[in-house]
Structure 1
Amino acid sequence: MTAPWVRTRLRAAPGAAVALAVLVALTACLAAAFPRALDRYTDAGLRQAVEHAPVDESGILVTAGPDLDAGVAHTEESVRPERLTGLYESALDTVERPLVIDRKRSSYGVRTTETVPSPDEWLPRPDGLPAEMLLAAPQGLADHARLRSGRLPEVTGGEASVETAEVQAAVTEETARTLHIEVGSVIHLPGSHDLTVRVTGIVAPEEADSPYWSVDSLLRTPSLRQVPGPMGASNPSYWAGGLLLAPEAAPALLSVTTTVRYWHLTPDPDALHSRDVDALASAVASLESGPGLERLHATISPLTDVATGLDAAFTTYDELRGDIGPLIVVAASGAGTVAVVVLLMAGGLATDRRRAELALLRARGASVRGMAGRLLAETAVVAVPAGALGFGAALLALPGARLLPALWAAVAVTAVACLALPLRAVAAHHAVRIHDGRRDAASPRASRRRTVAELTVVVLALGAVELLRRRGTTDGAGDLVAMAPVLVGVIAALVLVRLYPLPLRGLARPARRLRGAVGPLALARAGRTSASAVLPLLALLTAFTVAAFGGSVLSGVADARDRAALISVGADGRVEAEAALPAGLTGRLGQAPGVRKVTEVGLDYQARTNDGRQSLPLAAVDPGDYAALAGRTGLGAFRAGELRGPDGAEGGSEDAVLPALASPTVAERFGDDTFQVRLADGGHATLRIVVVRDRTPAVYGDEFLVVDRAGLPAAAARPNVLLLTGDDLDAGAVRRAADDAGTVHLRSEERGTFVDSPLQCGAERIYTAAVAAGAGYAALALLLSLASAAPERAALLARLRTMGLTRAQGRRLLVLESLPQALPAALGGILTGWAAVRLLSPGIDLTTIAVSSTTSPAGRAELSADPWSLAVPAVAVLVLTVGVAALQAWWSGRRGAVAELRAGDAR
C-alpha cells in the first residue's frame, strides 16, 4: 500500500515535491563541495610549499662513496651504470608510502665532491688563478638537455677505468659562453692519473630549474668564486664550471679527486596530499634517521647519507594549515547548522500543512510506525534522487579530490531531508488528538525537559567560548570550540524565545485602550503566533553570528594586509634610490594619475654615532609635509612644530642642536642628552631626541632617527626617497614618471606579496562561500517561517475585509504583526554577532591567514567587529519580512474574500 500512497501524494502536491527536490539537491551539492574544495586548496598549498622550497632541498639526496673495501675492480664496478641503476631501484623501494617518487624528475650518477683546477691557460683567469672544474657522470642527459652543437659524450675503446687517460664531456651553453669552451676544446685535469677531457657537445637544459640540474648548480651555470680570506679584503677570484661525462666514464673520475655516488629522488607532486602530511613527514624521517636509512645502509653502503629539506617544508605547511584550519571549521559549522535548520523547517512546514490529514489518519487507526514509514517513503522518493544529483554536480564542479567525505556529506543531507517530515509528524501526532487547541506563544510555560535541555546547551556554549578565549584556535581546542559561534547563536535564540512573550504580555493591556483596531489586533496576532519559532530564530541568529564572524574575519584579514603593506612601503607608493633623485622627479610624480601628494625624504642608512661603530637610518624631512603624511598613514603621528630646528640652524650649522624623532630603542640608548651623528658625506649633526614613536613612514625597522632637513647640510638633505599619497595609483604611470631613476614600490603590489599560498586564497573563498550560503539559507528560513503562517493570514484578512477592513489597513496589519518578530530577531542578531566577535576575538589570531606567516610587520592581526557585517543582515531581515507581509496583503486583496475564505476553510 506504500507505493500507491506515494504516487497519490506526489500527484496531489507536485509543487511541494519539486521545491523539496531543489532544496535537497542544492544543499547536497554545497555539502559535498565543501570537503572537495577543502582537499583541493590544501593539496595545492602543500604542493606549493614543496615546490617553493629551494630546488636542492625539495627532493631527497642520497649520497655514498664508492666501495673501497674489495679492490680496484670492485670500486670501479660500484660506479658503473648497471650498479647505480640497481641501487636506484633499491632506493625507490625503500621510500615508504604515501611518499611517491617521480622517476622522470629524479636523477642519479657519479660526481666529484670538489672542483679540480685546470692548468690550461686558455680558460679565463680574472686574477691569474686557474679555472676549476666539477666533473659529473649523470644518467639520462639526453632526456634532460637539447643538443645545440656537436654530439653527446661517449666512451670509446672499451670500458673506462681508473687508468683511463682521456674521456669525452659536454658542457651547457652558459658554461661554454663564460669559459670560452667550444666543441673540440681539450681540458687537462691533474690527479693520480692525469685526465684529459675532450668537449664533444654543447647542450641546453630542458628545464634549467628542474631537480635534475639541482644536484650542483655548477653543472648548469659557472660561478665566479673568491679565495677565502679576511672579511672586506679584496680576495682574488677564479672561475668554476662543470663537465658532463657519459655514465660509462664514471670510473675515470676515481683518479682525479674524491668521488661520490648520488641518487636525487624527487617527490611526485600529484601524489602529495594534505591529509597525508603526517605520514609524509614520517616517511621522510624514516629515510633520514629511521628504518629507511638502515635499509639504505644495508643495500648501498654503511656510510650512506640522506639530506633533504622536505621535513622543513612539511612542518612549515602543517603549521600554516593548523592556524587556518580552525577558522574554516567555524565558518563551515555555522553554514551547515543553518542549512540543517532549514531542512528541519521544511519538514515542519510540510507537517503543519498536513496537520489535519495526519490527525485524521491517526484518528482512523493508523499506527505511528506505519504513518512514519509512509512519510519516509514519500520523502525519500524525492530526496534521494535529488541528493544524488547534487552529489554528482559537486563531483563535476570540483574534480581531483577525495570521494568518500563528499559522499558522506551528501548522504547526511539526504538523510536529514528524508527524516525531517516523519520525525516531526511522529512528534506532533504521537497521541491521537481531536483538535490542536490554541497555539499561543504569549501564555504557555516551558516544560521542565525543555528548561533542562536549554540550560545544557547554554552551559556547553559558554564552556566552548571560554575554552576558545583561553586556548585560541591554534592550540587544538577541539570540535566544541569550532562550534562556539554557532552555540552563541543558539544561546541567543533560546534566550530570545524565552524573553519574547514578556513585552507582548506587558503591551497587551495598554493596547486595548487604543482607538484603532489595527494596532491591538496586530499585537494580539503577534502574541498568538506559533510557539515553534525557535527554529526560525535559531537559523536567523546563527546566520547573523556566522555572517558577523565571517565578515569580521575577512575584514580583519584585509585590514591586516593593508596595514602590513603600508608599514613596509611607508605610504601608498615609494620611489627610492641610493643616490639623490633628479630635481624634477617630484613634479613629474605629482602629475601621475592618482597621486595627490609627494613627500621628499633624504634617507641616510650610513649615519653613524659618535664612536662610529653603530649606524642608524637618518631621515631628513620637511616637518610640515612629513607630519601630515605620518598623520594620514597612522605611522607615528606627531606635531610638525616638535621637529622644527631652532632659528639660525639653516644651512646645517654643526653647533645647533636639532630636535629628533626616534624609535624607542634609539631613545633608550641616547636618552635626553645631546649626541652627534656623522653623516654619509662626512658632515656632523648634533641631535636631541624630543619625540618617540614606534614607527615612521620613511624607515621600516626598529631603529631610526628623523630630523628637520633644514638643519642639515644641503648635500645630506637632498631627497633620495619620495613617498606618494593617493588612491588607486597607476603602477605603469608611476614607473614611467620615475624613468628608472629609482626603485618603485607600491602599496597595492606589496599587499599582493602577502598572499603567497593557496591555503590563504582557498580559506578566504570558502569563508566567503560559507557566509553567503548561511545568509541564503537564513533568508530561506525566514521565508519558510512566513509561508507557514501565510494561509491562516490570508483567511484572516478575508474575514476582516467582510467586516469592513480596507486593503491599506490589511497591509498595515500584516506588517505590524510581523514587526514584533522581525525587530527582536534583527536587534538580537546585531547583539549576538557583536557579542560573538567580542567574546571570541582573544582566541583568534588572523596573522597567519593574512600574511602566511606567524609574524607580520603590523604585529598581531586581531579580530574586531565589522559594522557592515552586523548592519546589513539586520536590515535585510527587516526589509524581507516587511516586504513579504506587504506582498501577501497585496496578493490576498487581488484574489477576493470569497476565494480566500474557501481556501481557508479547505485548509
Structure 2
Amino acid sequence: MRAAPGAAVALALLVALTASLAAVFPRAVDRYEDEGLRHAVEEATAQSSSVQLSAPPPWSEIPQGERESALLPDTLGKQYAQLLDVVRAPLVPDREQSTYGVRNAQPLEAPEPWLPRPSGLPAQMSLAAPNGLADHSRLREGRLPRTDGTVTAATAEVEAAVTTETAAKLRIKAGSVIHVPGVERAPLAVRITGIVAPRDPEGAYWTTQPLLRRPSLSRVPGSIGNEQTYWLGALLLAPEAAPALLGTPGNPVRYWQLAPDPASLTARDLSRLSSAVAALESGPDLLKVRAFTDPEVDASTGLDDVLTSYAELRSGISPLVAVAVFGTGTVAAIVLLMAGGLAADRRRAELALIRARGGSLRGVMGRLLAETAVVAVPAGALGLTAALLAVPYGRLSYAVTAAAAVTLLACAVLPLRAATAHRAVRVHGAREDLTSVRPSRRRTVAELTLLVLASAAVFTLRQRGAASGDQLVALAPVLIGVIAALVLVRVYPLPLRHLARPAARLRGAVGHLSLARAGRTSVSTVLPLLALLTALTTAAFGGSVLAGVTDARDRAALLTLGADARVEAIGPLPADLPEEVRSTSGADEVTALSIAYQAKPEGGPVTVPLAGVEPEEYARLAGRTGLGAFPGGELSRSGQRVLPALASPSVADRYGTRPLPVRLEDGSEVTVRIVLVRELTPAVSGTEFLVVDRSGLSAEAARPSTLLLTGDHLDAGTLHKAEDAGTDVRLRSEERARYVDSPLQSGAERVYTAAVAAGAGYAVLALLLALVRAAPERAALLARLRTMGLTRSQGRRLLVLEALPGALLAAAGGALTGWAAVRLLAPGVDLTTIALATPGGGSAAGTAPLRTDPASLLLPALAVLLLATGIAAAQAWWTGRKGSVTELRAGDAR
C-alpha cells in the first residue's frame, strides 16, 4: 500500500463497487418479487384470496340444546383459535380481517310492504351473526344489537343492525321491524336497532361476503331482463342471537373465514405457501379442522389460483432478468481478472527477482494473497454494507455470499496470475504476442468446449423457450459473446498482416508501423475483447428486450383503442363534440364513426359489431395506424343499394360474398356485400366486425358514436373534459401504462436496465484497463520514435491507427454478435408475460416476440469505437506534451 497507493485505492474502489452491486442484486430481486406477490393477493378480491370454511347446522339427531350451543360465539371462538393453530406457515392469517360467525345459506322472504319491490317481488333477507361487528364498524344511528337473556330457536324477536348502504337502498330505519318465516313456529321478528358504517369497506371482513355490506338486485333464475327482480340484503344479528336461526328455514351454517396477511407473504416461500393452502383446502389440515369442528366442514378458496397466476408471471420474467445478470456478472468478473493481470504485469520484475533469489512459488502466492486481502476484504465489507443500507430488504445470506464471492475472486486473481507467469524461474521475459505464442492444445480444447456449451444453450432455448429456467439457457448470450471473442482474436491479426505488406510500399512509416503493431496483438487482448463483446451482446439483447416490451405495450394499446385516442359514448355523441375535439391541441386527424355493437346479420341471434365510416377518411386512419389498410374507394357506396363491406376473416367465412341483410339496433335494416377482408380494423378490437359506408345507413344509425384521434402530442386534459358530456375518453399513453400491472414487471424492468447499464460501465472500465496496461509500452515507443524524427502529429496518428483496428474489431464484432444472439434466441423468447401481464392484454396483442433493436446494436458499438480512439489520441497528446521521457537512456533532450 505504501509502494503503490494509487493501485491499492483503485483496487479497493473496484472491489467495493462490484461487491455492492453483487449484494444489491439478490435483495432487489427479493424486494420486487415479494411486492409483486403481495400486490397480486391484495388486488384479488377477498372472496378469491380468503380461505372460507363452513359447516352445516348440527345434526338434528342431537339434543336441541347442544345444537343451539354449537352456534354460540364461545364455541365458535374456541374452534377459531384451534383453527389458527392448525394453519401452517408461511400462510399467516390476518387476525384483524379474519372472523367467524353464523349465517343463513338460503335467504328468507320478507313480506313487509314498505320494502322496495322493483318488479313486485318481495325483498329477501339473509340473517348473519358475525363476530367483531363493533370492531369493524362505526355506529351512525341507534345502537348495536344485543340479546336479553338466552336466545333459542323459539325466540320470537331478535335485534339486528344494517349497514348504511343497505339502509339507504332498502329504506330501512332504526326501529324498523322485519319478519322472516319460521319453522314450526310464528315468523321471527327482527328489530333494527342501529345503522353502521364499515371502518374498512374494502377489507376482507366485509368484502369476503359482500352481501353483509351492500344489498344486491337479484333476478329469479330463468327470467329475462328486469321482469322478475328483487332486493337481497343482510341483517346483522348479535353473535349471541345465532341460535334463533335454527327456527328459520334458512339453513344456518357456521363459517370461519381466514384472510391472508399480505405483509407475511414472500416469493421465496411460494411453494410452501401453495402447499399450506392445499393442505387446508383439501389435505391433512382440513382433516384436523374437521376433528374439532364438524365432520362435514368444507373449505374453499381462490388463493391457490392467485398464487398459480403469480408463479406463471414470475416464471416468464425471471429467465429474462437472468440473461442480463449473467452477462453483467461475466463482464464484472473479466474486469476483476484484468485488474489482477495488470497488477501482475506491474510487479513482474519484482516477482521474477524474488523467484530468482530463491523465493518459493507457495511463499510468493501467500504474500500476494495477503497483500491483496488487506485491500480487498475491507473494500468488500464496505461494499456489502453500502448494499445493505441501499436496499434494506431481502435475504442477507444471498447478499453476503455474492459479496464474498467477489472479494474472494479479487483476492485470488493476482496470486494465481503470478503463479502462472512465474511457475518457472526466468530472468528475462519472452515476447507474448500472437506471432510468438501459439494457442496450446488445452486452449483449443477449452474453446471447443465453450462452443459446444453455447450451441447446446442456444438449441435448448430455441426448443423450450426462455421460461424453461435452465441456468445454461440464461448464459447463452454470454457464451455466444465468448465464442465470438475467441474466434476474432484468432482470426483478425491475419488480414492486418497482409495489409501491412502493401502499406510498407507507401510513403511514410506511420501506416505500415501501426498495421504491423496491430497485427502482433498481445495474448492479453483476449480478456478486454471478451469483456467488450460480452457487454455489447448483453446490451444488444437487453436493449432488444426493453424495446420489445415497449413496442408490445404500444401495439396492444393501439389494437385496443384503434388510434392515439378514443372518445366513445353509449349512444350518439353530442352534435358539437366532434368539432370541439378537432380543435384540441395536438390532434392531427379526427375520424368520426358510428358503431352498432348488436347488429344482427340475417336477423339471427348472432351479433356482429358494424361500424359506419366515411371511406376515404377511415382508409387514411387504417393506413396510418397499420390496422388493416385498404383502398378507400372500394368501400364507397357510390349510389349502390347494396353496401360494400369490409369484414374480419371469421365473418367472411361465415357469410361469404352474397348480399347479406343486417338488422341494426334502431330497427333499420341494410344489405351489405363483403368485398374486403382484413384481420384488424381501428373501429373494433375484436375478431368479428363489419365496416360499411356510413352514408348508406339510416339517419339514426349514422349518427357518430365514436371519435378516433391521431396525433403525437394530444392534450389529455382537454380531451378528458369531454367526459362531462357523458363520454368515455381513453388515450393510448394511458392504455399503455395500464399494462404495467404488477411490481413484478416494473421491478424486473428496473433491475434489467440497471444490469445492462452496469455491464456497459464495466465494459468501459475493461477498455480503460487495457489501455492503461499498454500505456507504458506505447509511451516508450513514442519517445524512442521521436528521437528518430517522428513528429507529435505523426505520433498521434500512430496511436490512433494502432487502436483503430482493435476498436473496429470490438465494435463490429459486438454488433454482429448481438444481432446473432437476438436472431438465434428470438424463437425461444416471448415477451408477452413481462410486457402484458394485465388480464386480456396478451389476447389483444397476441404474442410479443423478441426483435432486433438497431439502436441497441449500433449505439454501444459506436461508443466503444469513439472511446477507444479518443483515449488513444488523448494518450498521444499527453505523451507528446511531456517532452522527454524516462525510458530513454540516450538522446534525451532536456
Q: TM-score, normalised by structure 2?
A: 0.96
Q: Which of 86, 94, 106 does residue 98 from structure 2 map onto?
A: 106
Counterpart check, 1:659 vs 2:638: no
Q: Does structure 1 conserve the Cα–Cα contact (< 8 Å) formed by 2:603 and 2:663? A: no
Q: Does structure 2 conserve the Cα–Cα contact (< 8 Å) formed by 1:518 and 1:812? A: yes
Letter of the 1:367 counterpart: S
Q: Which of 169, 175, 178 does residue 166 from structure 2 map onto?
A: 175
Letter of the 2:598 counterpart: Q
Corresponding position of 1:371? 364
Deviations 1:760-814 (A, max 9, x none): 1111111101110110000000000111011111121122222222211111111
Q: Does structure 1 conserve the Cα–Cα contact (< 8 Å) formed by 2:119 and 2:227? A: no
Return closer, same or farther for 1:685/1:177 CA change in 2, 3 Å cut-off: closer
Q: Which of 29, 46, 49 does residue 38 from structure 1 map onto?
A: 29
- Range moving further from structure 2, 114-123 or 238-247: 114-123
Return closer, same or farther for 1:717/1:197 CA change in 2, 3 Å cut-off: closer
How many Å separate the matches in 1 of 2:580 and 2:360?
87
Counterpart check, 1:129 vs 2:121: yes
How many Å separate the matches in 1 of 2:335 and 2:164?
67
How many Å separate the matches in 1 of 2:177 and 2:657?
71
Pairwise CA distance, 1:475: 3.2
Counterpart check, 1:540 vs 2:532: yes
Deviations 1:35-84 (A, max 9, x none): 11111111111111111222112110011123334311111211111211
How many Å separate the matches in 2 of 1:666 and 1:527?
67
Corresponding position of 1:444? 437
Return closer, same or farther for 1:432/1:668 CA change in 2, 3 Å cut-off: same
Question: Secondary structure of the residue that 1:780 maps to in structure 2?
Answer: helix
Counterpart check, 1:870 vs 2:862: no
Counterpart check, 1:310 vs 2:303: yes
How many Å separate the matches in 1 of 2:473 and 2:549?
21
Identity value in percent: 64
Corresponding position of 2:845? 858
How many Å separate the matches in 2 of 1:202 and 1:52?
29
How many Å separate the matches in 1 of 2:298 and 2:384?
49
- Range moving further from structure 2, 123-132 or 589-598: 123-132
Corresponding position of 2:43? 52
Q: Which of 444, 454, 478 does residue 447 from structure 2 map onto?
A: 454
Question: Secondary structure of the residue that 1:437 maps to in structure 2?
Answer: coil
How many Å separate the matches in 1 of 2:876 and 2:891?
15
Consecutive unaligned residues of structure 1, counting only runs of 5 or more, are 1-9, 650-655
How many Å separate the matches in 1 of 2:628 and 2:676?
10
How many Å separate the matches in 1 of 2:885 and 2:685?
78
Deviations 1:622-661 (A, max 9, x none): 1111111111100001111222223x33xxxxxx232221
Corresponding position of 2:546? 554
How many Å separate the matches in 2 of 1:294 and 1:321?
32
Corresponding position of 2:816? 831
Q: Which of 459, 462, 467 does residue 460 from structure 2 map onto?
A: 467
Consecutive unaligned residues of structure 2, counting only runs of 5 or more, are none
Question: Secondary structure of the residue that 1:169 maps to in structure 2?
Answer: strand
How many Å separate the matches in 2 of 1:314 and 1:867?
38
Counterpart check, 1:756 vs 2:756: no
Pairwise CA distance, 1:503: 1.2
Pairwise CA distance, 1:479: 1.1
Return closer, same or farther for 1:122/1:606 CA change in 2, 3 Å cut-off: closer
Question: How many residues end up aligned between the 2 structures?
Answer: 886
Counterpart check, 1:503 vs 2:495: yes
Letter of the 2:447 counterpart: E
Q: Which of 190, 196, 216 does residue 181 from structure 2 map onto?
A: 190
Q: Does structure 2 conserve the Cα–Cα contact (< 8 Å) formed by 1:443 and 1:501? A: no
Pairwise CA distance, 1:263: 0.7
Pairwise CA distance, 1:898: 3.5
Deviations 1:358-394 (A, max 9, x none): 1111111111111111111111111111111111111
Deviations 1:701-749 (A, max 9, x none): 1111112223333433222111101012222111225642521121111
Pairwise CA distance, 1:900: 5.6
Counterpart check, 1:704 vs 2:689: yes
Map residues 206-355 of structure 1 onto 2, 5 A cutoff. Answer: 206-232=199-225, 234-256=226-248, 257-355=250-348
Letter of the 1:856 counterpart: S
Corresponding position of 1:802? 787
- Range moving further from structure 2, 860-869 or 659-668: 659-668
Return closer, same or farther for 1:904/1:353 CA change in 2, 3 Å cut-off: farther
How many Å separate the matches in 2 of 1:680 and 1:294?
56
- Range moving further from structure 2, 711-720 or 868-877: 711-720
How many Å separate the matches in 2 of 1:524 and 1:859?
55
Map residues 605-644 of structure 1 onto 2, 5 A cutoff. Answer: 605-644=597-636
- Range moving further from structure 2, 715-724 or 356-365: 715-724
- Range moving further from structure 2, 103-112 or 708-717: 708-717
Pairwise CA distance, 1:676: 2.2
Return closer, same or farther for 1:669/1:835 CA change in 2, 3 Å cut-off: same
Corresponding position of 2:805? 820
Corresponding position of 1:422? 415
Pairwise CA distance, 1:899: 4.3
Question: Secondary structure of the residue that 1:659 maps to in structure 2?
Answer: strand
Q: Does structure 2 conserve the Cα–Cα contact (< 8 Å) formed by 1:791 and 1:904? A: no
Corresponding position of 2:391? 398
Letter of the 2:75 counterpart: R
- Range moving further from structure 2, 174-183 or 391-400: 174-183
Q: Which of 501, 508, 520 does residue 528 from structure 1 map onto?
A: 520
Corresponding position of 1:723? 708
- Range moving further from structure 2, 248-257 or 75-84: 248-257
Moved beyond 4 Å, runs of 4+: 902-905
Pairwise CA distance, 1:562: 0.4
Corresponding position of 1:890? 877
Q: Which of 3, 6, 21 does residue 15 from structure 1 map onto?
A: 6
Map residues 730-741 of structure 1 onto 2, 5 A cutoff. Answer: 730-737=715-722, 739-741=724-726
Deviations 1:460-488 (A, max 9, x none): 10111111111111234x11111000000
- Range moving further from structure 2, 369-378 or 612-621: 612-621
Corresponding position of 2:581? 589
How many Å separate the matches in 2 of 1:564 and 1:124?
45
Q: Which of 763, 769, 776 does residue 784 from structure 1 map onto?
A: 769
Pairwise CA distance, 1:570: 0.4
Deviations 1:680-699 (A, max 9, x none): 33333332222111000011
Letter of the 2:109 counterpart: P
For the aligned residues, what is the CA RMSD? 1.8
Q: Does structure 1 conserve the Cα–Cα contact (< 8 Å) formed by 2:46 and 2:259? A: no
Return closer, same or farther for 1:869/1:903 CA change in 2, 3 Å cut-off: farther
Corresponding position of 2:427? 434
Q: Does structure 1 conserve the Cα–Cα contact (< 8 Å) formed by 2:603 and 2:661? A: no
Question: Secondary structure of the residue that 2:162 maps to in structure 1?
Answer: strand
Corresponding position of 1:653? none
Letter of the 2:78 counterpart: G
Q: Does structure 1 conserve the Cα–Cα contact (< 8 Å) formed by 2:497 and 2:516? A: no
Question: Secondary structure of the residue that 1:12 maps to in structure 2?
Answer: coil
How many Å separate the matches in 2 of 1:164 and 1:672?
73
Q: Does structure 2 conserve the Cα–Cα contact (< 8 Å) formed by 1:439 and 1:528? A: no
Pairwise CA distance, 1:443: 4.6
How many Å separate the matches in 2 of 1:687 and 1:118?
54
How many Å separate the matches in 2 of 1:97 and 1:423?
47
- Range moving further from structure 2, 214-223 or 284-293: 214-223
Letter of the 1:321 counterpart: R
Letter of the 1:598 counterpart: V
How many Å separate the matches in 1 of 2:831 and 2:156?
65
